[in-house]
Structure 1
Amino acid sequence: MDIQAVQKSYARWAPVYDKTFGAITGIGRRRAVKYINTQGPSILEVGVGTGLSLEDYTSDKEVVGIDASAEMLGKARVKVDEKGLTHVKALEEMDARALKFPDNHFDTVAAMHIVSVVPEPERVVAEMARVCKPGGKVVITNHFARDTGVLSLAERITAPFANLIGWHSDFRIETVLQEPSLKLTDKRTLPPVGMMTLLIFEKEA
């Protein structure tokens, strides 16, 4: 999946995202933010989308969100304005493979349900690690492919349509476990029916 395909797909999804895929991922997103709220103040959310998570951060945080989709960011900016989310410091259009932030900059870097969407996910995770402070956290929630069962069959059937539906249904968890500077410290299965997984990494000091 290339960046143009991602942008086109999410331009289509933007008007209905909150009530469709956004609703399905709500529990995982809220649990991720609940954990992030226990960490340091500076947060980068990679793939912030329509900004569904933004109102869940506590007011003492300083949140920056980036996304490749101008249409999704437009929805996020409306939420920030309408709800007075002053803890959201910036929302920027950006390719997650080349983050425009210095090394060791954020206390926590989060990616909620986007690593199976982006081109070159290993490169995205490496960039997330680069901009995270030593000892900081990288938090990822996503659906990962299963090896058996009915859902595994459905994942394989829909995999060829990644550019159309906007994500890789057969995305392997091993893809995000390869960054040498990140140590996996927690792994939690999330509803609905264990479809989603929360991963917490610590960047080596």
Structure 2
Amino acid sequence: MDIKSVETSYARWAPVYDKTFGAVTSAGRKRTVDYINKHGGSVLEVGVGTGLSLPDYAPEIAVTGIDFSEDMLAKARRRVAEKGLKNIAALRQMDARELDFPDNSFDTVAAMHVLSVVPEPERVMAEIARVLRPGGKVVISNHFKSTQGVLASIEKFSAPFANVLGWHSDFAIETVLQEDRLKIEQQQALPPFGMMTFLVLSKLRNN
């Protein structure tokens, strides 16, 4: 999937995102933010979208959100203003493959249902590892491809339409786990029907 396709797709989805993909991914967002709220610190949310998760962060957690889509960010900024959220440090337009932050900038990086929609997810994971402080956590909720059953067949059929759908239905979990500065700490299946996965990775302290 190329970056222009991502931009076009999310301009198309922005008006209805909250009631479509947003509804399907609510369990992953809740699990991710609940985990982060227990650990505190500074947070970078990669692919903040329309800001559905922002009201759920604890007030003491400073959140920076980035997204490539200005249409999505416009809705996120309205949400912040309407809810009077004081802990949102910034909402910035940015390509996740080239994060405009220094090394070791954040205690936690959240990536909720974004890794299967970005071009070059390996580069995105490398950038996430770079801006994360040693010992920090990457908290991920995402759909990963099934290896068997009806769902696997559906994903295989949908894969060629990635640019139209706006996400890779056959996205492999190994793509996320190959970054050698990060080690897996938790993995859990999430609703609906175990289609989503919750992951926690930690950055090695000697990197």
Is the shorter-chain TM-score for this pair beyond 0.5, marking a shared fold?
yes
Distance 1:82 1:40 in 2: 24
Distance 1:30 1:14 in 2: 20
3-state SS, counterpart of residue 64 of structure 2 = strand
The yes-or-no answer on 1:42 pairing with 2:42 is yes
2:191 aligns to what?
191
1:41: Cα distance to partner?
Answer: 1.7
| Residue pairs, 1:115-130, within 5 angstroms | 115-130=115-130
Distance 1:59 1:40 in 2: 10
CA contact (8 A) 2:107 2:136 kept: yes
Distance 1:180 1:38 in 2: 26
Summarize deviations over 1:150-196 as a string: whole Å, max 9, x none.
Answer: 11011011110000010000000000001001010000100010000
3-state SS, counterpart of residue 170 of structure 1 = coil
| Residue pairs, 1:1-205, within 5 angstroms | 1-205=1-205
1:40: Cα distance to partner?
Answer: 3.1
3-state SS, counterpart of residue 118 of structure 1 = coil
3-state SS, counterpart of residue 95 of structure 1 = coil
Distance 2:37 2:182 in 1: 20
TM-score by length of 1: 0.99
Letter of the structure 2 residue corresponding to residue 115 of structure 1 = L
Return 5+ residue gaps in structure 2 as ranges.
none
Letter of the structure 1 residue corresponding to residue 136 of structure 2 = G
Letter of the structure 1 residue corresponding to residue 177 of structure 2 = L
3-state SS, counterpart of residue 5 of structure 2 = helix
Distance 1:143 1:175 in 2: 12
3-state SS, counterpart of residue 15 of structure 2 = coil
The alignment's C-alpha RMSD in Å is 0.5
3-state SS, counterpart of residue 58 of structure 2 = coil
CA contact (8 A) 1:49 1:69 kept: yes
Q: Give structure 1 regions of 4+ aligned residues with deviation exceeding 6 angstroms.
A: none
Summarize deviations over 1:108-130 as a string: whole Å, max 9, x none.
Answer: 00110010000000110110010
Alignment coverage as a number of residue pairs? 205
Summarize deviations over 1:126-160 as a string: whole Å, max 9, x none.
Answer: 10010000000011110000111111011011110
Letter of the structure 1 residue corresponding to residue 70 of structure 2 = A
1:38: Cα distance to partner?
Answer: 1.5
CA contact (8 A) 1:39 1:107 kept: no
Return 5+ residue gaps in structure 1 as ranges.
none
3-state SS, counterpart of residue 108 of structure 2 = strand
Summarize deviations over 1:18-37 as a string: whole Å, max 9, x none.
Answer: 00000000011011000011
3-state SS, counterpart of residue 38 of structure 2 = coil
Letter of the structure 2 residue corresponding to residue 168 of structure 1 = H
TM-score by length of 2: 0.98
What is the percentage of aligned positions where both structures have the same residue? Answer: 65
